[in-house]
Chains A and B, each alone.
Chain A
Amino acid sequence: MRTLIFRTAAPYLTALMLLFSVFVLLRGHNEPGGGFIGGLIAASAFAIHGIAFGVPTVRRAIHFHPIAVSGFGLLLAALSGVVSLAFGVPFLTGIWVSPSLLGMSVDLSTVMVFDIGVYLVVVGSITSIALGLEDREDE
């Protein structure tokens, strides 16, 4: 798998896919996309990087263990639901704020945080599976 072309292209591909995954994640509320798809794209990116440069490189790059990322995502998603309790509405009700940033109104919400949690869970779980399998290939 480690041809010169692949190894040359892989870093650009990975970077682009990661960027794209975040783009897909953030636009998901209004256009096709969202945390699930974004997470899958990011996981593919890490898988490609792993195939091209070996698992240790990817592990170093992510810094955290992928399953920890997944756990953090789950925690984030659950906590985003708790925020609504402070406002006296049921668990997981979306809370929206629209602060003005550089003259532009930006919609921020607990729903978005929830979606980021979904993204992290998917990235973490799939990446840890893929890396786990690739790892054994390198023995």
Chain B
Amino acid sequence: MEIGAQPLTLLALLLPFVAAALAPLLCRVLKHNAAWLLALAPALIFLHLAGFVPQVASGRPIAGGYDWIPSLGIRFSWYLDGLSLTFGLLISGIGALIVLYSGGYLKGHAQQGRFFSFILLFMGAMLGLVVSDSFLMLFVFWELTSITSFLLIGFDHGRQAARRAALQALVVTGMGGLSLLAGLLVVSAVTGARDLSMLLSSGEAMRESPLYLAALLLILGGAFTKSAQFPFHFWLPNAMEAPTPVSAYLHSATMVKAGVYLLMRLNPVLGDTAAWETLLPVFGGTTMLVGALLAVRQTDLKLMLAYTTVSSLGLLVMLTGFGSERALEAAVLYLVAHSLFKGALFMVAGLIDHETGTRDITRLAGLSRAMPITFAAGLLAALSMGGVPLFFGFVAKEEIYAAVGVLGVWPVALIMVAIAGNALMFAIAFTVGLKPFLGSRDDMPKRPHEGPALLWIGPLCLALLGLAAGIFTQALHAAISSPMASAVAGMPMDITASGIPHLGLPLYLSAATIALGIAVYRLQSRLRDVIAGALDAIGWGPDRGFDQVLRGLVRVSFAATRIIQNGRLDIYLTVTFVCVAITLLVPMVAYGELPAAPQFPALLPHEWTIVMIAVIGLGAVVYAKDRLTAIVSLGIQGFAVALLFMLFGAPDLSFTQFMVETLSVVILALVMTRLKLTPSDHRRRRDKALDLTVSGSCGVAIGLLLLKVTQLPFDDRLSAFYEAHSRELAHGRNIVNVIIVDFRGLDTLGEIAVVMIAGLAILALIRVTTPDVAKDAR
């Protein structure tokens, strides 16, 4: 590891956050052209990461980091092997294009600076997620991507649909994040590993553990929610409420792949077991089919793409769990290919929307003359997504069929799923990338014309990359795909697939897929009706289920709040005092810690008189006919106690007690008159008995506690210290005051802050309730 690269890498990881902080300012000065400057941040990160390619390709991962919480052994550390590096390059590379695209897409939007901020924040979180080595860092960045995704989906927060979608995504992926945390804790407990690199070298420990299944299920909970696997897929299409740059970036190219990333990352440790090879293909395959079928049902370009993304994620999960090296290679190739073509197609869809004012496929036609560059980008991306030879998508698909195309019941079932899914995706690819441009132009909300450079530069670059990658496959394999596949498989791998067709089973399967895809494309409108009919017949889906669960949750919380926070002061007080009595009495009785019978002190007559006054005061409180008398009687008891303090040598205490008692009486009387209570007490006999029991137990409990405390041997080191040093250290003879303002000054500072806050709160309380009380009284 190079020493000089370490601070630079840290800088690269922090750069998106810095750029996010600067974005609003830059945007105010440069308007939408700030995009050119802001795109430099991801571009620089891309270049920095690209510099690692040779070293990583030669099989030496890059590790580095700094101590974060040394006392807990937690480090801020990163680990760059083929897998994380490829992700890092995708995130920063596509990120740069997306920033440019956002510059054009949200041109003139009042909150464009905020949007840049959010998307750069997300970029930083995502980058951190894929390079993280330590578990804690992984989790923190994982949740951070959920939070930034929430902000981005809800960017247009004036609309209810956007708010709902944002909340839904946050709840689903956030809960998945918690599940992931639990899973990582289990893994950490079993293997003792605190970071991924250590875990990867832990061998068979995890697979042989009895906790394997628990850990697997918890981690799958995180991965499946993030990567929108069935039945958690519903949040992803709803997330299309976000502006298109977000959909292109988060919900196709990067964030939703975090789950796949995690599965790939943990494949060497958790993979190769029956559970892994059953759960992943089953959920992945289901997701692929459901996603593709739902995609055909849509008429909105973005929604179609969203469902195919769900479908592609299913395919990736299925391949990751298939259990052969070829399948892992295929997953790697498809992941890269998908990021390129899906990002491009999303941006094309956004571009069409931006220039024509609609995304409805039934209204779009004949745009090829008006938007030639968009057409080129869309077509190239569609060819790659459809898996046409020479394009990178074809390479990936060939590899998929080569991997799955072995005999056996299980592979054949999966191959059927793969062909069906791919054919449907083929149809969607051309519906988005070709159909809007053909035919004669319909009437559209806006007169279509080519978008500005900021808008087409991104999709065109990605689409061309898809072609370039398909042609120069060997160079790409050497630099990117082979190291990534090695990291996923946990052993050196060498990918050889190319974009030139070779005769063999995979090619026949490819041909079948394309033929089927063309058929679906032609029959699309009829198929759409069939699926729509079937969905109507089913009726209920997880999306509605989510709403129902949320409503149920709100109802339960509401009911619970009504019980706990019922607004009745007498119940609050009763509960509080019952708890006080129980906490004091139960341990004392249970552990046999009751105080011994106290020795009665020999008091002088005047001291007895004062004690009697206190007792009489108490009696008067209980027997008082009206409340004012009771309050004043309580004051008498307090004054008597203050006198006792004075007699037994605590002038400061007694002084304070006098003042507190006086003010208490005044304030209580004021409160009582303000609350317009009836002067006399008219509780029922039963209530009185209950109150008497509660107050009696509290009094007995505190009395016993004080007796017990005074019977314990008194450690006078502290008071001896204060006595000895109060004069010389603090220049004061009044020890009590010296303690308050000097020795324990910080405590006092905290206390007076509390006094002030209490004052503030009471003031607010008085102010807030005034009109209501007045209204009720009238």
Contact = CB atoms under 8 A, between A and B. Distances in A.
A54 interface: no
A85 B185 CA distance: 43
Given A118-B741, A136-B766, A29 B732 contact: yes
Interface residues of A, number: 51
Given A32-B655, A36-B740, A134-B670, A92 B745 contact: yes
A83 interface: no
B663 interface: yes
B674 A77 contact: no
A52 B108 CA distance: 64
Contacts of B732: 29-30, 111
Contacts of A133: 667, 670-671, 674, 766
Contact of B666 (A34, A47, A132): A47
Nearest to B760: A67
From A44, A71, A94, A139, residue with most partner B Cβ within 10 Å: A94
Interface in A5-44: 24, 28-37, 40-41, 43-44
B656 A40 contact: yes
Given A29-B737, A96-B731, A124-B756, A47 B663 contact: yes
A30 B652 CA distance: 11
Interface string B213-234: 0000000000000000000000
B731 A107 contact: yes
B489 to A, nearest CB: 57
A47 B673 CA distance: 15
B524 interface: no
Interface residues of B, number: 42
Contacts of A91: 746
Interface stretch (B35-43, B53-61, B160-168, B747-755): B747-755
Contacts of B652: 32-34, 37
Contacts, number: 142
B144 to A, nearest CB: 34
A58 interface: no
Contacts of A132: 762-763, 766-767
B759 interface: yes
B758 interface: yes
Given A107-B731, A111-B730, A129-B762, A118 B736 contact: no
B299 interface: no
Nearest to A119: B752
B446 interface: no
Nearest to B740: A34
Interface in A91-105: 91-92, 94, 96
A56 to B, nearest CB: 16
A78 B767 CA distance: 28
Interface in B114-169: none
Contacts of A34: 652, 734, 736-737, 740-741
A29 to B, nearest CB: 4
B749 A78 contact: yes
B659 interface: yes
A29 B656 CA distance: 15
A17 to B, nearest CB: 10
Contacts of B758: 125
21 contacts: A29-B733, A30-B732, A34-B736, A36-B740, A37-B656, A37-B659, A67-B759, A70-B759, A73-B756, A74-B756, A78-B749, A109-B731, A115-B737, A121-B755, A122-B752, A126-B663, A126-B759, A128-B759, A130-B663, A133-B671, A135-B766
Given A47-B663, A94-B730, A118-B741, 19 more contacts: A29-B731, A29-B733, A29-B741, A33-B652, A34-B734, A34-B740, A40-B656, A40-B659, A40-B663, A94-B742, A96-B731, A115-B737, A121-B752, A121-B755, A125-B756, A125-B759, A129-B763, A136-B674, A137-B670
